[in-house]
Structure 1
Amino acid sequence: MKGKTVIITGASTGLGKAIATLFIEKGSNLIINSATEANLYRTYQEFGSPSNVIPVTGDISQQEVAEKLVNVAVEKFGAVDVLVNNAGVFQPQPFLEVKEADLDRFLSINLKGTFFTSQAAIRQMLRQAGGSIINTGTVLVEHAIAGFPSAAPVSSKGAIHALTRQLAAEFGKDNIRVNTIAPGIIRSPLQGKIGVENVESLAGLHLLEKIGEPDDIAEAAYYLATADFVTGETLNVAGGHTIGHKFG
């Protein structure tokens, strides 16, 4: 990945920041994005404000932001080799309490953001005759939890899983690979945002009986970015969450 150009949405904190950190270490050129300018530039400064990292603020639910990310990448570095669709929102909410505005929020940021950013990137990747897109889903698409009501965000993430397979089918002939990472419970700021005060208490949901780390997701993203014979797959990085249960 040295010298390759990578766009990472939602890169200012948590998983996106860890992914960006690893790709910087590997010598990639980065376009990092967040909807919150202060957070994005704080992270950029933590990276040392390197010349091969360009921060671009914007809400990826807006199609023009997707196009801007790609345009900046091409203008600054001449290509879009990898797109990591990491930006998203997730909040548990009982199904019967979901309002139209709630559902619209998840669909706009999670699905539309991934959809239109991928669309803009694929247009460029077709010109280059190849590229890799890495989407962010969730293990809850395959393995729901009764005590964690999240029909609205999971619906939007399920659509991303389906989109991954369809894009892989449509653009495989063009050497464009599209895959999804489905994280389990990862130690990140998201846990606090959804009201989880003690993330370690959830370790038992994983067969490995531990919580994942942001670096686990970063390493998965790097693998998918470089795996030339993998497309249309959902890589569960979840400590066995989807495989079985532990009793007693």
Structure 2
Amino acid sequence: METRKVAVITGGSQGIGAGLVEAYRRHGYAVVANSRNIAASDDALIRNVQGDISDPSVASTVIQTAVDTFGRVDTLVNNAGVFIAKPFLDYTHDDYDNALRVNLGGFFHITQQAVAQMSAQGTGHVVNVTTTLVENANSSVPSALASLTKGGLAAVVKSLAIEYAARGIRFNAVSPGIIKTPLHAVEAHPTYAALHPVGRMGNIDDVVHGVLYLEQAPFVTGEFLHVDGGQSAGN
């Protein structure tokens, strides 16, 4: 089992995270997935760990589960996150705390644990799922808290890519547009589709394909891959 590649995916119970779990399994990886409400899997090569990823003890349990069960951690996909769309003055202290706790704390604790393991192995890959709104704000989608927190995930990619380049660990980010997931009401889909130059919302598979490209591109590190239907190109 220690020769099989292992992916750890946060926010793995639905939407993009669930799509990533399925895709990595199709590619032969064992998977450890985390979410606050994730059921046990019947697949012997999937371990699901319930809990709030912003809690350092949960983050530690997720990585320890991967090492104890499968012997290693090859890839970490930091997919868990919250998106709170409000005008700036409408954000509450709870909104602020929630965004920082999940989007930044949920990255920081588990990534430290994963990179420690990857450093011992001499190889590894971390992918952060951010949002294209970090670089391409849109007046139709108020996103200050997402930009503040997901912007941190984008910025740290380059810093860590350089810090760990000589140690065999890569860091990249996928920056999606608006993706069809349970987070978005169906009646709002036409409005969201119109925000993309290609005229449609993204599908979960679009983001999954982006992450898998980065997974299979060993000479790519410190990269932001826009999966946003042309939003980053202009409008």
Q: Which residue of 1 aligns with 2:192?
A: 202
- What does residue range 61-140 of structure 1 map to in structure 2 within 5 Å? 61-140=54-133
- What does residue range 203-222 of structure 1 map to in structure 2 within 5 Å? 203-222=193-212
TM-superposed deviation, 1:150 = 1.8
RMSD across aligned positions (CA): 1.3
For 1:240 and 1:146, locate their aligned partners in 2 and report how far apart those are by CA, in whole Å: 17
Give the ranges of 4+ consecutive aligned residues of structure 1 lying more than 6 Å apart after TM superposition.
none
Q: Does 1:226 align with 2:216?
A: yes
Q: Which SS does the other structure have where 1:236 is aligned?
A: strand
Q: Which SS does the other structure have where 2:63 is aligned?
A: helix
| Count, aligned residues | 233
For 2:15 and 2:5, locate their aligned partners in 1 and report how far apart those are by CA, in whole Å: 23
TM-superposed deviation, 1:183 = 0.5
- What does residue range 12-91 of structure 1 map to in structure 2 within 5 Å? 12-36=13-37, 40-41=38-39, 45=41, 49-91=42-84
Q: Does 1:152 align with 2:145?
A: yes
Q: Encode CA deviations 1:101-144: one digit per residue, 9 max, x unaligned.
A: 21111011001111111111000000000100010110001111
- What does residue range 236-247 of structure 1 map to in structure 2 within 5 Å? 236-245=226-235
For 1:94 and 1:205, locate their aligned partners in 2 and report how far apart those are by CA, in whole Å: 18
**Aligned 8 A contact 2:134 2:146 in 1:** no
Name the % identity: 39
TM-superposed deviation, 1:67 = 1.1
Q: Which SS does the other structure have where 1:191 is aligned?
A: coil
Q: Encode CA deviations 1:25-68: one digit per residue, 9 max, x unaligned.
A: 111100011011xxx11xx55xxx11000010111111111111
For 2:100 and 2:224, locate their aligned partners in 1 and report how far apart those are by CA, in whole Å: 20
Equivalent residue letter for 1:21 = E
Q: Which SS does the other structure have where 1:190 is aligned?
A: coil
TM-superposed deviation, 1:161 = 0.5
**Aligned 8 A contact 2:158 2:223 in 1:** yes
For 1:54 and 1:164, locate their aligned partners in 2 and report how far apart those are by CA, in whole Å: 27
For 1:136 and 1:115, locate their aligned partners in 2 and report how far apart those are by CA, in whole Å: 14
Q: Which residue of 2 aligns with 1:10?
A: 11
For 1:188 and 1:200, locate their aligned partners in 2 and report how far apart those are by CA, in whole Å: 14
